[in-house]
Amino acid sequence: MIPFSILDLAPIAEGSDARASFHNSLDLAQHGERWGYHRFWLAEHHGMPGIASAATSVLMGYVAAGTSTIRIGAGGIMLPNHSPLVIAEQFGTLESLFPGRIDLGLGRAPGSDHVTARALRRNLASDADEFPQDIVELQDYFAGSSRRQVKAVPGAGLQVPLWILGSSLFGAQLAAALGLPYAFASHFAPQMMMQAIELYRANFRPSAQLDKPYVMLGFNVFAADTDEEARFLATSMQQAFVNLRSGRPTRLQPPVRGYLEALGPQERAMLESVLSCSAIGAPGTVAAQMKAFVEHTRADELMITSQIFEHAARLRSYEITAAIHKAG
């Protein structure tokens, strides 16, 4: 069975706060480590009332300090928001503190709206068009013999694995050209998944980091003891997408029975599209859906996300998924 990993969006549930979200993230990572998950990744988002992982590298340090073997990563750092040197120093620090356990996934989206992106960068001179050059610059800072006058301290000489994240053909082409592993955001933007995977595999050039293509795919899992309960739990995520697409993002809402059936045809079609890479149900249902997805995509690894309102129910979903993985 291919490795299973965890993508935690550090959700802030309605009636809760960021502090509780951070404690839940650490608790999930500790459980995930015991259950055999390979990685635990956190994503950079800004100005989102329901996501607490804005200071991604800081939160990674907190989670890494509370675990011992599971790999901790960024899925990802939105590189246009940052100087490559700053990211090299931050992740050089993390790798120095937790050697051999740090991953650095890189994306070119802002992880926010246009106004928030401007506040982050002050100006938009450094934008997504410079993303490939920024990655090469970042690689130079991590190299033992950087061609640049400025050195990343810490950072220089440390082998922090880089990943390219994406939801389009651009990321697939870039990951292939640079010989880097590719993580596709199929858990919320699956439309170009198969085309991107095929493009990446066909054009991959081996590098010092990676000798053959490696594809990780995002996948939503809402697992519970019954199909009915799992469908109920999934309505929190469904509400989050409808609210976001309607321009009114909120904290993660409690599940609502009959929510999907009460939506109009346009909202239901949107959810069927964006959440098509999902498994929802009891253990047997989820196992069959995940097996079909892996066979169809030939993924090398799955990055599991479970946006569930109650922390105990979220843990149960990941526990069920881990048992499915163990059973093979």
**145 versus 306: which is more confidently predicted?**
306
Q: Helices (H) and strands (E) in the chain — how many of each?
A: 13, 9
Render pLDDT for 151-191 as a digit per residue (tens, 0 to 9). 999 999 998 999 999 999 999 999 999 999 999 999 999 99
Q: What percent of the chain has pLDDT over 90?
A: 87
Vertex 223, ends 249 and 325: CA angle to 5°? Answer: 120
Per-residue pLDDT at 110: 64
Render pLDDT for 115-132 as a digit per residue (tens, 0 to 9). 776 777 655 555 557 899
Per-residue pLDDT at 121: 65
pLDDT at 111 over 70: no
Dihedral of CA atoms 70, 323, 215, 66 in degrees, nearest 10, equals -20
Q: Please state, as a whole number, how many other Cβ atoms lie within 10 Å of the Cβ of residue 110.
A: 22
Structure tokens at 199: 């493009």
Give 142: exposed, middle or buried? Use CB within 10 Å, 0-12, 13-18, 19+. buried
**180 versus 109: which is more confidently predicted?**
180
Per-residue pLDDT at 109: 78
Per-residue pLDDT at 146: 62
Mean pLDDT score, 208-212: 97
Residues present in the chain in total: 328
Per-residue pLDDT at 127: 54
Structure tokens at 110: 């802002």
Mean pLDDT score, 305-310: 97
Structural contact between residues 85 and 150, judged by C-beta atoms closer than 8 angstroms: yes
Q: What percent of the chain has pLDDT over 70?
A: 95
The least confident of 143-152, 196-205, 214-223, 284-293 is 143-152
- pLDDT band at 246; cut points 50, 70, 90: confident
Most confident of 154-158, 245-249, 284-288: 284-288
Mean pLDDT score, 92-121: 84
pLDDT at 150 over 90: no
pLDDT at 326 over 70: yes
Structural contact between residues 49 and 249, judged by C-beta atoms closer than 8 angstroms: yes
Render pLDDT for 10-61 as a digit per residue (tens, 0 to 9). 999 999 999 999 999 999 999 999 999 999 999 999 989 999 999 999 999 9
Half-sphere exposure of 206 (CA within 13 A, CB side): 2
- Mean residue pLDDT across the chain: 93
Cα separation, 317 vs 328, whole angstroms: 17
| DSSP letter (8 states) at residue 305 | E
pLDDT at 294 over 90: yes
pLDDT at 247 over 60: yes
Strands 71-78 and 301-305 turn out to be unpaired
